[in-house]
Structure 1
Amino acid sequence: MSARRVTAVLAAATVLLPTAVTAGPAAAAEATDWQQVPLPASVTSPAMLRWVTATDPANAWAVGGEAVTGRTAGTPLILRWDGAAWTKSPLPALPWNGVLHSVAAASRLDAWAVGEDTTGRSRLLRWNGRQWREAPVPGSATVALRTVAAGPLGSAWLVGYDGDRPVVLRWDGSVWRPVPPPMETGRLAGVRVTWRGVWVTGQDRGSGQDLGLVARRTATGWATVTTAAPVSVINDVLVAGTGDLWAAGAADIRGPGGLSLTQPWIGHWNGTAWDVTQRTPATTIEQNVSITPDRAGRPQWIGSIVGANPATTRYARFDGTAWTEVSGAPLTGVFIAGTATAHIPGTNATWSVTALATQTPDGFAWGTPLIERHDGG
């Protein structure tokens, strides 16, 4: 699969997904200790889960869609973890069908979810501590909002694109306001908000080629760090400290016969330059999707797109020195899998959600998503 195609899949939040997944005794025997956690029985397959976030050990959200028969032809799905089990969160009567791409929460009382309906129009939901309500979508009907992030003191940010123009929006407590993006052309794939600031990630197309980009919001604009070819997209970023930045994405390389191939990419920015010596072995992973920390804020896990015909879900784990590939749940009859990870604050544990797809004569078909958990150590 080419980097351009996988990037498009991510940008559309279509991390291709699932059929039936089996987890037998081999799953429990895995030394990696990724454990499957049951989905609510009320989830209607075909379904997918695209993103997950947690505010504490007893509060987490996962979003996607159920009864999905196409890229967006489904019903929005939001699951909530209460410390004991995942349940399907009730949604208001929505005048549209579609799926959700991203979810973010800074506390149990405030969360955002963004997605799109079957026409491709962006949709936004907000949790007020009691229920989900639909919120007005800022911008024009052609804006594709892909990722939301929630930060301290009720702050929130949205990123996406309008055609080939990047879009950044900031919640000021009452309305969403546009913010000049860090580049003129390209697409933004991710946004992270912490006490250290706001970072966006994506793909800059201003030079005539796709180059991965990370930008930090400053008092006067953006401080941008670009990458060099063949790095074609940065999907997520982890800020471990001042001048200590980790990024996850993909590189587009040429294989035999000029075939475009995608390889996972990990970069470590030391405040001056990218150290790219820390790499994920590219035996099965095609593209890195998310990067999440341990309790101390150091990089711990990377969630990835894996294909074709993966035998298990796959992760990259950092041991403080190097990244290694780690197996999760066994998979049967799956063509491609896309996994996103989320750190559980206050612990060394991590949630993951995996969307799975099988190949069909008409393209791809969704199946049943996975939720896994690793308790660290």
Structure 2
Amino acid sequence: MIGRVAGSAALAAVLTAGATGAAVHAAPKGEPRWRVQQGPAPRLVGSLNQIEFADERHGWAAGVEGPDNELALWKWNGRKWTRAKAGWGFVPAGLAVSGPRQAWATGVTLSAAHALHYNGKKWREVAFPGPGAPVDLAAAPDGTAVSVARNVFDGTNTVQRWKDGRWRPVKVPLPSGSSLAAVAAFSKREIWLGGSRRVGEDAYESLLLRWNGRKWRRIPLKGTSSQQSKAITKIVVDVPGKAWALRGSTKTKLLRWDGKKAGERGLPGGVGALTLTQDGAGGVWLLPYSRSDAKAAPYLRWSKGRWKSFTGPRRNGVVGLGDIELIPGTSRVVSVGGLQQQKPKEHKFPMLEAFR
């Protein structure tokens, strides 16, 4: 998942940008709609910014909670969410799950990068060699796991794969001026990287690469910009050789690489989006940025060649979303974030919603 930091500028953008401007789809009675999903009790101050599922019975959500903003790890068993024992004091930047006995989390503090591995029984801290801070993390059902890190001081990128119980560096032929921001893993023979590349003093182009099991290939994407609005910020692979991606954080574009060429479409109202996931029916769900006073979460769905706009349940507070994920093998989608409440005290609480 993308390195969305709970309480960071990424989440703040969700609370401050404009509304989508698209017509809202009102689900008739009996049809699926966005509903509140209950988390563990008792509720603690904090928010969630990562969610991943292996299947209907195994999933994890991550964020920060408690008065000291400790790492929060919530486990899904197919019926309910429970709080897992954590005890680490870092903010999660990535979360990945490949099965009931394999999950990973990465994160940062002001002084160090951190990585965890779940073996089916407990989480343990493992070395994160870097250099750089983790920005995204992905895993496939076959156990393949890939992490992307970036050193903001010297601009170097690090790609690592999980092998034999540790993170090991991977050589990727990145062009000069590259800045990685996203990774997706479908299998050991299907890995994607995304970001941007600086091509001039104030010019950037999109960067999208695919590993096919033998070599890395750069996917051709047209256009340059005077700002890093061309950066690929999220990638979702639905079948080998094909992928969905988001380009740019403001006035975001939805890209579709069909194996031969890239199609691109803007979001309704020219808004930006935080992330996306598959919808289980050939389309995708997106989390668009919302108003700073939004009492209900906005959602966008691209399905059968058109956009639909949805609204989550009205909340007693301001909503801020952090991540969204399809439960594999279903059409059920779950989103996580934080709910800012003002009474009796101004606190943010973890929030979950599900489309079902």
TM-score class normalised by the smaller sequence: 0.7 to 0.9
Query: Does residue 373 of structure 1 match 2:354?
Result: yes
Q: Which moved more, 1:160-169 or 1:106-115?
A: 160-169
* Structure 1 counterpart of 2:255: 267
Tell me the alpha carbon deviations over residues 99-133 of structure 1, each in whole angstroms, 9 at most, x when there is no partner: 1122111100110011112x242111111100111
What is the Cα deviation at residue 220 of structure 1?
2.9
Write the distance in 2 (CA, Å) between the matches of 1:326 and 1:346: 22
User: Which of 91, 96, 102 is the matching residue for 1:104?
Assistant: 96
CA-atom RMSD, angstroms?
Answer: 3.2
CA contact (8 A) 2:209 2:218 kept: yes
What is the Cα deviation at residue 197 of structure 1?
0.2
CA contact (8 A) 2:209 2:216 kept: no
Query: Does residue 201 of structure 1 match 2:194?
Result: yes
What is the Cα deviation at residue 8 of structure 1?
9.4
Tell me the alpha carbon deviations over residues 123-178 of structure 1, each in whole angstroms, 9 at most, x when there is no partner: 111111001111111123xx110221112432210012112222211112233222
* 1:150-189 correspondence to structure 2 within 5 Å: 150-163=139-152, 164-181=155-172, 182-189=174-181
What is the Cα deviation at residue 266 of structure 1?
0.6
Tell me the alpha carbon deviations over residues 59-99 of structure 1, each in whole angstroms, 9 at most, x when there is no partner: 1100011136xxxx7200100111221111112x54xx221
Tell me the alpha carbon deviations over residues 162-210 of structure 1, each in whole angstroms, 9 at most, x when there is no partner: 1222221111223322223434334322211113600122232344434
* Structure 2 counterpart of 1:90: 85
Write the distance in 1 (CA, Å) between the matches of 2:9 and 2:195: 13
In structure 2, the residue corresponding to 1:329 is in which secondary structure?
coil
* Structure 2 counterpart of 1:22: none
* Structure 2 counterpart of 1:77: 72
* Structure 2 counterpart of 1:35: 35
* Structure 2 counterpart of 1:235: 233
* Structure 1 counterpart of 2:64: 65
* 1:121-136 correspondence to structure 2 within 5 Å: 121-136=112-127
Q: Give the partner amino acid of 1:150.
A: A
Q: Give the partner amino acid of 2:267.
A: T
Query: Does residue 348 of structure 1 match 2:331?
Result: yes
CA contact (8 A) 2:54 2:141 kept: no
CA contact (8 A) 1:48 1:366 kept: no
Write the distance in 1 (CA, Å) between the matches of 2:206 and 2:285: 20
Q: Give the partner amino acid of 1:228.
A: G
User: Which of 252, 269, 292 is the matching residue for 1:282?
Assistant: 269
Which ranges in structure 2 are unaligned for 5 or more consecutive residues? 16-25
Q: Cα 1:9–1:342, aligned 2, differ >3 Å: closer, same or farther?
A: closer
Q: Give the partner amino acid of 1:316.
A: L
Write the distance in 2 (CA, Å) between the matches of 1:369 and 1:326: 21
Q: Cα 1:194–1:268, aligned 2, differ >3 Å: closer, same or farther?
A: same
Q: Cα 1:183–1:107, aligned 2, differ >3 Å: closer, same or farther?
A: same
TM-score (norm 2): 0.81
Q: Cα 1:321–1:342, aligned 2, differ >3 Å: closer, same or farther?
A: same
Q: How many residue pairs are counted as aligned between the two chains?
A: 331
Write the distance in 1 (CA, Å) between the matches of 2:217 and 2:339: 36
Which ranges in structure 1 are unaligned for 5 or more consecutive residues? 1-6, 19-25, 252-261, 360-364
* Structure 2 counterpart of 1:256: none
CA contact (8 A) 1:27 1:328 kept: no
Tell me the alpha carbon deviations over residues 312-338 of structure 1, each in whole angstroms, 9 at most, x when there is no partner: 21111122111222111324553x733
CA contact (8 A) 2:190 2:240 kept: no
- Percentage of identical aligned residues: 25
